[in-house]
Structure 1
Amino acid sequence: MRYHNTYVHLDPRLYHQQPPTPLKNPRAGHFNLSVAEQLGWTEDEDLMARWVDILGGEYVPAQFEPLAMAYAGHQFGQWAGQLGDGRGLLMAQVLDDNDQLQDLHLKGSGLTPYSRMGDGRAVLRSTIREYLCGHALNQLGIPSSNALGFVVSDTPIRRECMEAGAALMRVADSHIRLGHIEWIASFAPDLLSEFTDYMIDTYYPECRDSDTPVLAFLQKVVERTARMIADWQLIGFAHGVMNTDNLSITGSTMDFGPFGFMERFNPAWINNHSDHTGRYAYQNQPAIGHWNLNIWLPHFMRLEGVTRETLADCLAPYEATFMQHYQQGLCRKLGLPHQSESLTIAFEWLTLLEDNLLDYTNGFRALLGLVAPDEHPYEQQLLLTLTSELQGEALQAWEDWSTRYLAQIQSFPIEQVINSLKTNNPAYVLRNSMAQRAITAAEQGQFEEVARLYDLLASPYTVQDIATALDSSPPAPNAPQMPISCSS
């Protein structure tokens, strides 16, 4: 691997250097060969032979320089003070096969000075969920952390009950969060200029060409965050805990614990059982992204040339960027160009899904069964299942809408419409029930279901023979979607 450890050379107040605390008897859970090849991990015989020992904390390669980052944050809208890597370590930074900097971050590596009341560990169920979700989001084309692999161990961890300790080697283009700047502003304001220069030079070097590099950088972060959240909304992904310490400066999804993929369409869906007010409900995510950025940006007023007015200019494009990206994507999901007529029919479709609590993923994919049923038997069956749930006025609303939709697409080449439907509407997402079946098997020492889901989610836009009926089955109508615990 091409090591490029730069964070460790910043001011030592920003982190604490330490090795991981080994897990007891670590064993392989799953190894992501694709990510390993991207990193150049596969070119090192020692790394390949000892990957379980590395993830288990028993062996630290000579070129790794593990450290725990300090950061702060607002959690559920309230200032939470110092947080930091309480159960994870930035083990190394490397340049991948695209010359892109990647962080190798070991989650579940033991106590650090930032652990507060925690034990520094991760349990198997949350590790599997994060491993599969990072993989799924990447394959769906949504910027996200991924993972090299995970291990399970004999280390007992107490959560609601005793569980098996596990560790995940997370891979991300950055682990710098909005909360890093919040920490600096509160505890080391003299580092703001130096750290801002580091963020620009490392992650946004093109901003150096601007007359105002800092403002150009801030606007890029705003725009990337808006596009990321638009991608979430389009695919039906709910992060679950959008605190400022869980948002990356690069606009990549990270730290998703109580996440979920929408099944029966309910925009008010709350997937985090700790979110009693619905702050992080699916429909609120765009507004929360804006709120977080609005909290973050004023800290930069300490820098020369940054004023309240220029920060307002940086934040101003957020809504337009989000809406343009979301509306363009929504039209593509129907195989239509981005125009007012397309948006009208698209929002009518969302209303039909919501009013009848139809499955979000299956609903969009089933349009292939409407447009070209003979060539798409899987989607034709999805359509039959979907419409079988409709009666009376609901069925009439569907028939009226489908007639208007079919008339709309007549203006465009049918091959173009079909290709857009195929490439923008996955056949498979990681439903919570799918993840739970893999977790249940893994807790019995069987990781075959994790491997099957990994393979299935590697090609989410393609109908596959390895899929089962359960992979595309939504919960029963009006059944509550599974809430997910924050404990991990």
Structure 2
Amino acid sequence: MAFDNHYARLPERFYVSLLPTPVKAPRLIRYNEALADELDLNFDAQDRDRLAAIFSGNQLPEGAEPLAMAYAGHQFGNFVPQLGDGRALLLGEVVDRNGKRRDIQLKGAGPTPFSRNGDGRAALGPVLREYIVSEAMAALGIPATRALAAVASGEPVIRETVLPGAVFTRVAASHIRVGTFQFFAARGDEDGVRQLADHVIARHYPQLEQTENRILALFNAIAERQAFLVARWLSVGFIHGVMNTDNMTVSGETIDFGPCAFLDEYDPRKVFSSIDRQGRYAYANQPAIAQWNLARLAECLLPLFEGGEEQAVEDANAALKTFGETFQRHWLANFRAKLGVEGEGEDDLALVNDFLSLMQQGGADFTLTFRALSKLAGGADVQGLVGLFSHPAGLSDWITRWRGRLGRDHEPAEKQKAMEAVNPAIIARNHRIEEAIAAAIYDDFSLFHRLVDALANPYEENADHADLALPPRPEERVMRTFCGT
């Protein structure tokens, strides 16, 4: 790895330097060769023992400067002034083939000063879940951290039961979070907030270097990326599950795939996370929570805005209002594309919302319904769509309105192709993920590998993966997902 570490050059209060704790018997589960090539890593993919040693933390590559990052965060609305990397170590940074700086981090690398009496390890199940879902999100075209490797540790971890352990290697644009800013702001460390802001601008928003009121410009840029990101989540039925401020990156990437899940049948109130007992992070609540998190970031940055306190508050409120408008614009653009409509029609919002309401009333599967609509635009029989609704009342009238909005001059095959390019044929189904994890506990990784391979091309239909695209039978339904810690 050609490390070029910048975060390690920040003051010592930003992190704690320490080495990974070796594991007993590392064994490589999967290595992402395509991502490794993108990162310009020159490892021999056939040398599985060496890869296992490196990506378990047993053998450090030259130039690595492992560190645990300090951060705070609001967890389910309650502020915790010190969190930090309790089971993760940033090995260092590399510059990929496209000239982009990327973090390489080990998760499950052992205890750190931020572990809060935890063991610093990761169980196999959460490692496989993060590998599957992060790669699925990237293939869907949604900004997300990536999976470089998964390694079995050869050691047990104790959670509710004794489970096999594993180490996950995560690649990110950076691991800087809203909670990182909160760590310094909570301590009255304005200089720390400023240094962090300067670092974030240099790393993620260099176009703002010479901008007037650059910290406000930074806040607006972060808000814009979050509006785009959350709108994309909703467009594929993704529920993050734990949108705490320490799980919102300033780079605009999806991070931390603990209790996340995808919708099967459409329900805007849907919650999967076992720790979200009040539905704070339900599917439809995610835009408002993103705005709430950004308000917490604004509180950290206010002293750095120009023009005095009163002007700073006014600017922050204006930026938060703009976030809502920007999110709505992105969301509607995504769903226009999913419906195949072009331009901006006055009734488009009602057309989208009415279709979603019909889906909810009819218990229609989110992913399969939009895929069937794509085929209907291409000339398929309407029953392919209607059959997905247990109660199709009102659907016929909606289809008439939709066809009127499409107009008569579109070419069916081209319209279907365009719609299928945004309406996936396959997603990371919750029940399949759980099935893969259950098999892996007994050392059978075949379904895990099959899922990762199938999800690499989510917009293409593949007969070999047809079973993986199906929604769960009643007895297969996953009602709760769990945090990796």
Class of the TM-score when normalised by the shorter of the 2 chains: over 0.9
2:47, 2:288 → 1: CA distance? 43
Cα gap change, 1:354/1:305 in structure 2, threshold over 3 Å: closer, same or farther? same
Distance in 1 separating the partners of 2:336 and 2:100: 31
Deviations 1:362-386 (A, max 9, x none): 0000113322256xxxxx6xx7565
CA positional deviation for 1:266: 0.6
**Residue pairs, 1:58-457, within 5 angstroms:** 58-187=58-187, 188-303=189-304, 305=306, 307-337=312-342, 338-373=344-379, 384=383, 387-388=386-387, 390=389, 394-414=391-411, 415-457=413-455
Identical-pair percentage: 36
Comparing 13-22 with 409-418, greater Cα deviation is found at: 409-418
State the Cα distance separating 1:190 from its structure 2 match: 3.0
Q: Which amino acid aligns with 2:106?
A: L
For 2:4, the aligned partner's letter is H
The unaligned stretches of length 5 or more in structure 1 are 375-379
Which AA in structure 2 matches 1:302? P
For the 8 Å contact 1:66–1:91, the answer to whether it is kept is yes
Instruction: Quote the Cα distance in structure 2 between the aligned partners of 1:416 and 1:196.
Output: 46
Question: What amino acid does structure 2 have at the position aligned with 1:402?
Answer: I
Residues 14, 69 of structure 1: 8 Å contact kept: yes
Aligned partners of 1:412, 1:293: CA distance in 2, in Å? 43
Distance 2:393 2:79 in 1: 50
Identify which of 459, 462, 472 aligns with 2:457.
Answer: 459
Distance in 1 (CA, whole Å) between partners of 2:5 and 2:45 is 21
For the 8 Å contact 2:223–2:294, the answer to whether it is kept is yes
Q: What one-letter code is carried by the residue in structure 1 that aligns with 2:443? A: G
Q: In terms of mean alpha carbon deviation, does 7-16 or 398-407 score higher?
A: 398-407
**Inter-partner Cα distance in structure 2 for 1:302 and 1:407:** 53
TM-score normalised per structure 1: 0.93
Q: 1:33, CA displacement in angstroms? A: 1.0
Match for 2:324: what amino acid?
E
Pairwise CA distance, 1:360:
0.2
- 1:214 corresponds to which letter in structure 2? I
How far does the alpha carbon of each residue in 1:415-473 deviate from its partner, in whole angstroms, 9 at most, with x for none? Answer: 44212211110000101111112112211212221111111111000001320424322
Equivalent residues of 2:213, 2:305 under 8 A apart: no
Q: Which amino acid aligns with 2:56?
A: G
8 Å contact from structure 1 (residues 28, 151) kept in 2:
yes
**Greater shift in the superposed pair: 49-58 or 90-99:** 49-58
> Within 2, Cα distance between the matches of 1:309 and 1:401?
43
Pair 1:34-2:66 in alignment: no
Instruction: State the Cα deviation string for residues 236-266 of structure 1 (Å, max 9, x = none).
Output: 0000000000000011100121000011111
Secondary structure at the counterpart of residue 424 of structure 1? coil
- From 447, 466, 469, the counterpart of 2:467: 469
- Figure out how many residues of one structure are paired with residues of the other and give that number: 478
Task: Report the alpha carbon displacement of residue 40 of structure 1 after superposing the two structures with TM.
Answer: 0.9
Instruction: Please report how far the alpha carbon of residue 355 of structure 1 lies from its aligned counterpart in structure 2 after TM superposition.
Output: 0.8
SS at match of 1:223: helix
The 1:204/1:221 distance shift into structure 2, 3 A limit, reads: same
1:296-333 CA deviation, whole Å, 9 max, x = no partner? 21212222616212222332310111000000110000
Go from structure 1 to structure 2 and tell me whether the alpha carbon gap of 1:368 and 1:311 turns closer, same or farther (over 3 Å shift).
Answer: closer
1:434–1:471 contact (8 Å) kept in structure 2: no
Q: Work out the CA distance in 2 between the residues paired with 1:78 and 1:424.
A: 37
Given that 1:264 and 1:474 are in contact with CA atoms closer than 8 Å, whether structure 2 keeps it comes out as no
Contact 1:134 1:146 in 2 (8 A): yes
Equivalent position SS for 1:50:
helix
- Name the amino acid aligned to 1:240: G
- The TM-score with structure 2 as length reference comes to 0.94
**CA-atom RMSD in angstroms:** 2.0
Rounded to whole Å, the distance in 1 between the matches of 2:46 and 2:304 is: 46
